[in-house]
Structure 1
Amino acid sequence: MAKYNDAKCRICRREGAKLFLKGDRCFTDKCAQDRRPYAPGQHGRARKKLSEYALMLREKQKVRRMYGVLEKQFRGYFYSSDMAKGVTGENLLKTLERRLDNVVYRMGFANSRAQARQLVRHGIFTLNGHKVDIPSLQVKVGDVIVVNEKNRKIPVIADAQGAIARRGCPVWLEVDGAAFKGIVKALPQRDDIQTPINESFIVELYSK
């Protein structure tokens, strides 16, 4: 599988928005996007007027990189969202939010989506009492996610729980930190996604 090995802060600077790829560091004054709010590279400071196509492409890349999804999988999410009832763009974002690795991150069991993906792959969590290791699994209302008892002393999980107070937990999730348990109370709604995203640009891009 393809893997990005360069500095993650360069991605945020390239997209011109905080994607929270470095976890709690993004909330400190060390955040590269706050310190250098321009694109990386020799010509990063140059003012360039983006074309209509470039604006749509950048929006798609921003969302794809934020959730850590490769192009082929992201395109598959779009087509399934397009065939489902409702608004295509909102369906796409809701599908990405329902990924297990994203839910683990939102619940505060990991500092970033990349870290959540790694923890899920290592079988750290159970879903409704069954061990799971598929980060892309779609959660449903009523699903219960629990950290295995033998893994509850992992330092990264303790650090992440300390950081959840700074970024907050979505209203569609319920977390019991003492029991290392989270419950999916409802399906995510568009208003629950605070990161500025113009999903209509993504729909227009794939509709060309």
Structure 2
Amino acid sequence: MARYTGPKAKISRKFGEPILGPSKALQKKPHAPGQHGRGRKRKQSEYAVQLQEKQKVKYIYGILERQFRGLFHRAVVKQGITGENLLKLCEARLDNTVYRLGIAPTRRAARQLVSHKHIAVDGEVVNIASYSLKPGQLVSIREKSKSLEAVTTSLSARNAKRYNWLEWDQQQLQGVFTNYPERDQIPENVNEQLVVELYSK
């Protein structure tokens, strides 16, 4: 699968923020990667700024171009603001929800759990990371997978962060995708309007 598997710190330095998880590299090297990273920044064109924002969203959610374009078309036909719809659809992905519930420490780890058939939706095993959840659907860990070290470690380190669109049952180790989140509930620092402008050209 053509996923980005390179250095996470390099991507974080490229965008100037830890988009793929906490990174000490940003503190040590606050400039962009490469031999010209310390040099004077040239003024970016409007297109470059829009493209960079699109790339940022793709890296955050781990989505490839073709899949991302498909999500954008779904966001366009959906009622509401296109940019917000796009982020809502990204948040409704199964791998992202597994990450948000705290079952996995990162979206990469969540994708692996899903593809290795450790996650079930409404009692049925689903191994498609891009599976789009609908409000009311139940996401759970398979009975055989509840003792997995990766899962138990992540759940024990699970922080107190709660998301309004998700409900988590610690006893049953399952969560419910209650509704699509509102834009102000999504913590990611992205300007979705720039992505809309890029695709609207």
Alignment partner of 1:117 is 2:111: yes
1:100-142 Cα shifts (integer Å, max 9, x gaps): 0000000000011111011001110111111111111111111
Q: CA deviation at 1:169?
A: 2.6
Alignment partner of 1:169 is 2:162: yes
Paired residue for 1:2?
Answer: 2
What amino acid maps onto 1:126 in structure 2? A
Paired residue for 1:13?
Answer: 13
What amino acid maps onto 1:188 in structure 2? P
CA distance in 1 between partners of 2:114 and 2:188 (Å) = 24
Alignment of 1:94-105 (within 5 A): 94-105=88-99
CA distance in 2 between partners of 1:112 and 1:160 (Å) = 9
Which structure's residues are more often helix, by fraction? 1
Count of matched residue positions in the alignment of Structure 1 and Structure 2 = 200
Q: CA deviation at 1:143?
A: 0.9
Q: What is the TM-score of this pair, normalised by structure 2?
A: 0.93
Alignment of 1:124-135 (within 5 A): 124-135=118-129
CA distance in 2 between partners of 1:160 and 1:33 (Å) = 24
Q: CA deviation at 1:3?
A: 2.8
CA distance in 2 between partners of 1:128 and 1:186 (Å) = 15
Alignment of 1:149-188 (within 5 A): 149-165=143-159, 168-188=161-181
2:3 and 2:64 in contact (8 A); partners too: no
Paired residue for 1:76?
Answer: 70
Q: What is the TM-score of this pair, normalised by structure 1?
A: 0.90
Alignment partner of 1:54 is 2:48: yes
Greater mean deviation of Cα atoms: 191-200 or 155-164:
155-164
What amino acid maps onto 2:183 in structure 1? R
Paired residue for 1:189?
Answer: 182
Find the residue that maps to 1:179 and give its secondary structure.
coil
Paired residue for 1:199?
Answer: 192
Alignment partner of 1:143 is 2:129: no
Find the residue that maps to 2:159 and give its secondary structure.
helix
- Name stretches of at least 5 consecutive residues in structure 2 with no aligned partner: none
1:133-167 Cα shifts (integer Å, max 9, x gaps): 1111111111111111211111211222233316x
1:175 and 1:181 in contact (8 A); partners too: yes
CA distance in 2 between partners of 1:62 and 1:80 (Å) = 20
What amino acid maps onto 2:125 in structure 1? K
Distance verdict in 2 for CA 1:31–1:164, change over 3 Å: farther
CA distance in 1 between partners of 2:120 and 2:158 (Å) = 20
Alignment of 1:25-44 (within 5 A): 26=22, 31-44=24-37
Find the residue that maps to 1:50 and give its secondary structure.
coil
1:108 and 1:169 in contact (8 A); partners too: no
Q: CA deviation at 1:184?
A: 1.4
Q: Which runs of 4+ in 1 moved over 6 A?
A: none
Out of 51, 57, 72, which is 1:63 matched to? 57
Identical aligned pairs, as a percentage? 45
- What's the C-alpha RMSD, in Å, of the aligned pairs? 1.5
